[in-house]
Amino acid sequence: MTTGSSSNTGPTHKLVEAGVTLLIALFGVIVIAGSLKAGINWGAEGPRAGFFPFYIGLFIVASSGINLWHGLREDNDGLFAEWGQLRQVLSVVIPTGIYVGSMPFIGLYVASIVFIAWFMRWLGKYNWITVLAVAFGMPIVTYLIFERWFMVPLPKGPVEDWLDL
């Protein structure tokens, strides 16, 4: 992958960093709001539940303010990442999202088989034999180690019920 050439475009580092800083500040505001709801003053049993997190929230907002100021003042025209690189990242995040989202319904094993196969076939361009060997091999090994050897149950779906595992 080429880096540093001027023809590559993408979001600037400054912009993304400012966005992340604002999100952190927003998180701080949420923490403050939640703490106020829980009570930040002294009750009969001493400091109430929101007392400590309230100040934590204040710290988050204050340090985000300083970070935002530092970030915007910085002379950094660099890119956060190129669009192509971000596409690479999303090509992992989105399938992983589908993978974890489907797990409660179809169980971990089926989801893993589909996920590994998808990843190897589309991103790695392997032939089907290799793909199927790894996609089925890994969950089987996992089943033996986790469920049989260490007795750690993993989420199962209709297929496992049908196979009576």
- Binding residues among 27-46 for other proteins as defined by CB under 8 A: 27-28, 31, 34-35, 37-39, 42-43, 45-46
Residue 59 makes contact with other proteins by CB under 8 A: yes
> How many chain residues bind other proteins (CB under 8 A)?
71
The amino acid occupying position 37 is: K
**136 vs 113: CA distance, rounded Å:** 6
**Minimum distance from residue 68 beta carbon to other proteins (Å):** 10
- Which residue among 12, 132, 138, 156 contacts other proteins (CB under 8 A)? 138
Whether 73 and 63 have beta carbons less than 8 Å apart is answered as no
H-only helix segments in the chain = 13-38, 51-73, 83-118, 128-142, 158-163
Cβ contacts of residue 146 below 8 Å, gap of 6+? 152, 154
Residue 124 makes contact with other proteins by CB under 8 A: yes
Residue 20 makes contact with other proteins by CB under 8 A: yes
Show contacts with other proteins in window 60-79 (CB under 8 A).
60, 63-64, 66-67, 70
Of 73, 66, 64, 58, the residue nearest 21 (C-alpha): 64
Show contacts with other proteins in window 79-108 (CB under 8 A).
80-81, 85-86, 88-89, 91-93, 96-97, 99-101, 103-104, 108
Residue 51 makes contact with other proteins by CB under 8 A: yes
Residue 142 makes contact with other proteins by CB under 8 A: yes
Of 125, 86, 116, 109, the residue nearest 8 (C-alpha): 86
**Minimum distance from residue 28 beta carbon to other proteins (Å):** 8
